[in-house]
Amino acid sequence: MQQDLFLNSQENLLPFQGEVRFYPHFFEDTQADELMRSFQESLAWRQEPIRIFGREIMQPRLTALYGEAGMPYGYSGIQMTPLPWTPELMAVKTKIEEFTQLRFTHVLCNYYRNGQDSMGWHRDNEQVLGQNPSIASVTFGAPRKFQLRHYTQKSIKRDVLLSHGSLLMMQGESQHFWEHQLPKSSKILGPRINLTFRKLIR
Ligand SMILES: O=C(O)CCC(=O)C(=O)O
Ligand SMILES: [Fe+2]
């Protein structure tokens, strides 16, 4: 199928032990602008605490979880109950599913209010994601640097600028062998919305 060819023709950003592919113009600019505005206003953004080394701290960003009823999702000591899909989130999910020929059950939404909001080094390797999860990550708004580094050889790093309307696919063994982060930026940046589509297994 044409789309499979296109999907795999994009170069792998990782040198080994996983696959990460970047599609800078997944959405047309006008569509990306509209989705940014709509998600900014309509999603149920909240600042939630997480537990790190037994201490509760507020996450340096806002989040919201949408997905299938009765399938909660948790990370870093918090458990989130999904809200039902909105038409816009469902439309984005369908577009990604048609492009990738994969299926997703949930979307974790992240809202970075400015350059001071961030996400630290982590792997998306919760058991409910299964062995080699495929994660589809789309970006709207301010472009931000996204970093990958090998989990045991931490000097091996890759950077990619996640731009407005882009799609990043993380697949294969990437969540075993690579961690990723969205560092703070000292630039004066507007808001950025990131949607990470995931498939939870029952
Ligand atoms: O904002 C991003 O691009 C990264 C989000 C992420 O890694 C996550 O939600 O697990
Ligand atoms: Fe992640």
Three-class DSSP labels, 150-169? ECCCCCCEEEEEECCCEEEE
Q: Which of 178, 180, 189 has most ligand 1 atoms within 8 Å of its beta carbon, as the pocket-test mutant?
A: 180
Please, what are the domains in the chain?
A: 2-198 (2.60.120.590)
Complex ipTM above 0.90? yes
Residue 167, strand partner residues? 23, 138
What does the pLDDT read at residue 1?
44
Cβ of residue 180 lying under 6 Å from some atom of ligand 1: yes
H-type helices in 23-86, by residue range? 29-42
Which burial class, exposed, middle or buried, applies to 147 when counting CB atoms under 10 A from its CB (0-12, 13-18, 19+)? middle
Residue ranges, the chain, pLDDT below 70: 1-9
What does the pLDDT read at residue 7?
60
Which burial class, exposed, middle or buried, applies to 67 when counting CB atoms under 10 A from its CB (0-12, 13-18, 19+)? buried
Number of neighbours of residue 61 by Cβ within 10 angstroms: 19
How long, in residues, is the chain? 202
Which tokens go with 59? 């996450």
Residues with CB under 5 A from ligand 2 (ion): 124
Cβ of residue 182 lying under 6 Å from some atom of ligand 1: yes
H-type helices in the chain, by residue range? 2-9, 29-42, 87-100, 174-177
pTM for the whole structure: 0.94
Widest distance between CA atoms in the chain: 49
What does the pLDDT read at residue 76?
82
Q: Each residue of 82-112: pLDDT tens digit?
A: 999 999 999 999 999 999 999 999 999 999 9
Ligand nearest to the backbone CA of 161? 1
Q: Which of 39, 66, 137, 192 has most ligand 1 atoms within 8 Å of its beta carbon, as the pocket-test mutant?
A: 137
